Every structure is written in C-alpha cells, then in structure tokens.
Structure 1
C-alpha cells in the first residue's frame, strides 16, 4: 500500500460497532481523529481502528477478567501506541451486542469516575 492510500475500516466491523454504540441511547460516535470512537468528559472509552479492531477501556479487575475469559490482548491500534487500559474485542465477539453492551456500560461508568479533562486551548 502506498503512503497516499488510506486504509478504510472494514464495513462489517463498522456496522457492528455502530450497532453496539447505538444500543446505549446516551452514547454518540465521534470521529474527530479519523476513526470512530466514544468519549465522555475528554476521555475516550471505546474505538474502532482503521484495521477493524474494537478496543474498550475497562477498569483493572474487569480488564483482567475480559482478557482471560476471551483470550484477548491489550489493545494496540495500528498505527499507534499500546493502550494499556483497553482490551481488544475478538471479532467473533463483536456480533454479540448484548454481551459487549455490558462491557461498554462498565467502561462508561469507569470514565464517569475520572476527572474531566479541560478543553484544549485553540492556538
């Protein structure tokens, strides 16, 4: 792939991610950075990479349980750094909206406990 070619998110993963986020009425998908994500008070808590992998931010105990139960890994978007509080959602689990909805609700509750980030000043 040349540098000028942009990687596009696989349509099936995008559709499943949108369905997951829409399962919680108070959530909206943002795409400020060129990929879909959810955030609250300046804290991102779920995202879909351009490679088509979903990451969900979880508190330590739930994160460790998820990693073990689903034989998952800590999330690393491509390109980008390892996101230590995020788990990688296995693609076969992505279609299970009810199961993932419970994790997304845990994630939302977790970011609600974090101190809001101040808005960035425009230069």
Structure 2
C-alpha cells in the first residue's frame, strides 16, 4: 500500500513544476522554510492550508485533521482515499498549499 501511495504522491508532485518532492524515508514538499505536504508511515497524504481553508476543506472533503507519527499536524488536512484518483485536482490543491506557505514569513 505504501509503495502505491508513494507513486501517487510523486505523480501529483510531478504535475507541480514550482517545487520538488524531498525526503527519502518521509516524503514531503517544502518551500519558504515550511513543509506543506507529506506522506506519513501509514501511507496517508496531508496538505497544509490556512486555518480558514483547512476548516473549509475538512468539511468539503469529509475529512479530518492530518496526523503523522501520532501527532496532529497543525494546519494539515488529511486527503481522503476517495480523492486519490483525480491527480489533476489534487495537483491544484497542492499548488494552493504551496501558494499558502509562500505567503508566510520565511523561516
């Protein structure tokens, strides 16, 4: 399951030319000093948004806050399994996440 999910994650990131996937054991994307997406050890995908967008997408996606290694990741939305078939739409959501972290003060 993890390998298949990693392939999906890589395909989504490949559709977003402004950034690259990083991490060997914990795949993630980052920009401006902030991580904005990651694939956890449970093969769950999370994207980071502002608090308002996070709340909107949790309702819209019928999802939850994203957890990694047992901890709630502040600002992250769990991308539900039923959304993993529309990679173009997920690339739009990932680009939106990138745009969000680029508005934050650089670390």
TM-score tier by shorter-chain length is over 0.9
CA RMSD of aligned residues (A): 1.4
1:10-35, CA deviations, whole angstroms, 9 ceiling, x for partnerless residues? 11100000000000112211106x21
Equivalent in the alignment of 1:13? 5
- What SS does the corresponding residue of 1:14 show, helix, strand or coil? helix
Q: How far apart in 2 are the matches of 1:16 and 1:30? A: 15
Tell me the equivalent position of 1:50: 41
5+ residue gaps in structure 2? none
Tell me the secondary structure at the aligned position of residue 86 of structure 1.
strand
Alignment-derived partner of residue 62 in structure 1: 53
1:15-34 alignment, distance < 5 Å: 15-31=7-23, 34=25
Consecutive unaligned residues in structure 1, runs of 5 or more: 1-8, 118-123
Give the number of the structure whose residues are more often strand, by fraction.
2
Match of 2:72 in 1: 82
TM-score scaled by length of structure 2: 0.92
Distance in 1 (CA, whole Å) between partners of 2:56 and 2:6 is 25
Matches of 2:63 and 2:26, distance apart in 1: 22
Partner Cα separation in structure 2 for residue 46 and residue 24 of structure 1? 12
Decide which structure has greater helix share.
Answer: 2
Equivalent residue number for residue 107 of structure 1: 97
Q: Which moved more, 1:48-57 or 1:62-71?
A: 62-71
Structure of greater Rg: 1
User: Does residue 40 of the first structure (1) align with residue 31 of the second (2)?
Assistant: yes
Poorly superposed stretches of 4+, deviation over 4 Å: none
